[in-house]
Amino acid sequence: MTINFILNGEDVVVRTDAGVRLIHILRESFGLSGAKSGCLNGQCGACSIIFNGSVTPSCLIPAFRVRGSEIITIEGFSQTDEYNDILTGFKDVHLGNCGYCEAGKILCTETLLERFPNPTREEIIMSFAGVNCRCTNIDRLVEAVNHIIGIRQRRLYGRSA
């Protein structure tokens, strides 16, 4: 089947079988390797992408569901100021990072802060529910998100919240 969708802001077309997983389309047809192939059953978050505005495991999305969708991968998001805020925040708090689920953690942080610019601890915990990171724990992620909020406030308004 032929599938049209928007990938990192560009209209794209791919020919594939209906059941092929999106992660394999991204990696093999578009050379986008930021979404990692891990558990392939929706548990680890290593293959995360933003699918129609929500962080979603690309291993669970079959090709037929991709038609007409809007997808942002970590490669596309890395071109933004928001990405730099998050990466700087992760580095500043020395968040453990082997890279395996980095895309998931970064994209979860962004969609969280889009919805809740000043999230509660519970909202932060909920936002990372789909990422099973062995390199850090939820307390460190909460610390990182709160630090990133300050970085973003200073970039946008020249001050912290």
C-alpha to C-alpha distance for 89 and 83, rounded to whole angstroms: 10
């962080």: which residue's tokens? Answer: 55
Task: Choose between 47 and 86: whose C-beta lies nearer to ligand FES.
Answer: 47
40 binds ligand FES (CB under 6 A): yes
Task: Choose between 100 and 116: whose C-beta lies nearer to ligand FES.
Answer: 100
Pick out residues in 133-152 that bind ligand FES (CB under 6 A): 133-135
Part in contact with ligand FES (CB under 6 A); list of ranges 25-33, 74-82, 129-137, 149-157: 129-137
Q: Do 116 and 123 meet the contact criterion of CB atoms below 8 Å apart? A: yes
The single residue among 5, 22, 38, 103 that binds ligand FES, judged by CB under 6 A, is 38
The single residue among 75, 82, 85, 102 that binds ligand FES, judged by CB under 6 A, is 102
| DSSP strand pairing (2-7 vs 10-15) | antiparallel
Part in contact with ligand FES (CB under 6 A); list of ranges 6-14, 31-39, 61-69, 86-94: 31-39
46 binds ligand FES (CB under 6 A): yes
Q: What angle do CA 118, 103, 4 make, to 5 degrees?
A: 105
Neighbours of 62 (CB within 10 A): 14
98 binds ligand FES (CB under 6 A): yes
Q: Please state, in angstroms and as integers, the Cα–Cα distance from residue 74 to each residue in 35, 80, 118, 123, 148, following that order.
A: 7, 10, 23, 22, 18
Question: Residue numbers of the site for ligand FES (CB under 6 A)?
Answer: 37-40, 42-47, 57, 59, 97-102, 133-135
